């Protein structure tokens, strides 16, 4: 009876890992010969593991990664992709993210830009960092509505706070003056303090033409903040989707 009361109290305190571990210890004979310190240590370890797993699950859920199962350990380094292996291995430690450095991924459709971005995002979640995956065309449409209903600044603040923001598919749809201004606000709010990954089918050399649309000054400002000091990876080869079908 006393054991059940202890388990109930642990659950009320939200020490579910310790509660489950204590229940297991009570029901399994092999723990009976262990010392109090050994059993307590195991309970603390189980609580920490459960909390870490729960935090990771919450971070992955809130990140809304397009490829939630992508992970850096599964990166395909086949030569046709043109990936610099030493560079990719260096990115895995996330030191660039901790220093607010941006990452630009460009290349043809289907070459794995978004997958790599999601794999790095998943690794960031494993490290306990907050990640947000956003398809840029949809995000700019949401911001357009946010200007109308007065939620723009609160939405911008949320994106500013995440440790890693992934902006997917820059250049797949036309961008107007308001969208360009909103993109500048997003990038500027994170510049030098938080990291952003930008994926695009357009090579960086064509970004200025895409972003300017009569306002080269804004395009200059966006490019300076995104590409200045950022790491860049240019993907090559056939679409990974086509290769899988073959």
pLDDT per residue as tens digits for the range 133-165: 999 999 999 999 999 999 999 999 999 999 999
How much is the average pLDDT of 191-203? 94
Enter the tokens of residue 196. 């952003």
Superfamily of domain 65-245: P-loop containing nucleotide triphosphate hydrolases (3.40.50.300)
Q: What burial letters (b/e) apply to 15-32, b meaning 16+ CB within 10 Å?
A: bebbbbbbbebeeeeeee
Alpha-carbon span 97 to 101, nearest angstrom: 6
Q: What is the pLDDT of residue 244?
A: 54
Region at 229 (left for phi over 0; alpha for psi -120 to 50; beta for the rest)? left
* Amino acid 245: pLDDT: 53
Domain boundaries, the chain: 2-62, 65-245
Q: How much is the pTM? A: 0.86
Give the separation between CA 141 and CA 144, rounded to whole angstroms. 5
pLDDT of residue 185: 95
- pLDDT digit string, tens, across residues 217-239: 889 999 999 988 899 999 886 66
Report how far Cα 144 is from the mean position of its chain's Cα atoms.
24
Spatial CB neighbours of 24, under 8 Å, sequence gap ≥ 6: 31
């Amino acid at each position: 009876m006393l054991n059940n009361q202890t388990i109930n109290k642990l659950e009320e305190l939200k020490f579910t890992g310790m509660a489950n571990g204590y229940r297991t210890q009570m029901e399994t004979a092999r723990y009976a010969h262990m010392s109090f310190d050994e059993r307590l240590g195991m309970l603390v370890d189980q609580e920490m593991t459960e909390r870490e797993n729960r935090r990771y699950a919450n971070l992955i859920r809130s990140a809304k990664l397009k490829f939630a199962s992508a992970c850096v350990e599964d990166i395909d380094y086949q030569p046709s992709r043109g990936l610099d292996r030493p560079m990719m291995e260096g990115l895995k430690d996330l030191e660039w993210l901790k220093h607010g450095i941006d990452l630009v991924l460009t290349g043809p459709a289907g070459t794995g830009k978004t997958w790599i971005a999601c794999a790095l995002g998943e690794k960031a979640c494993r490290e306990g960092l907050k990640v947000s995956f956003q398809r840029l065309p949809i995000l700019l449409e949401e911001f357009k509505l946010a200007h109308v209903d007065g939620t723009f600044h609160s939405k911008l603040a949320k994106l500013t706070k995440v440790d890693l923001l992934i902006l997917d598919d820059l250049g797949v749809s036309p961008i107007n003056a308001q969208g360009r201004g909103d993109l500048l606000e997003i990038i500027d709010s994170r510049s030098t303090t938080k990291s952003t990954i930008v994926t695009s089918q357009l090579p960086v050399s064509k970004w200025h033409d895409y972003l300017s649309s009569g306002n080269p000054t804004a395009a200059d400002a966006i490019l300076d903040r995104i590409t200045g000091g950022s790491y860049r990876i240019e993907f090559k080869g056939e679409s990974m989707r086509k290769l899988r079908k073959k």
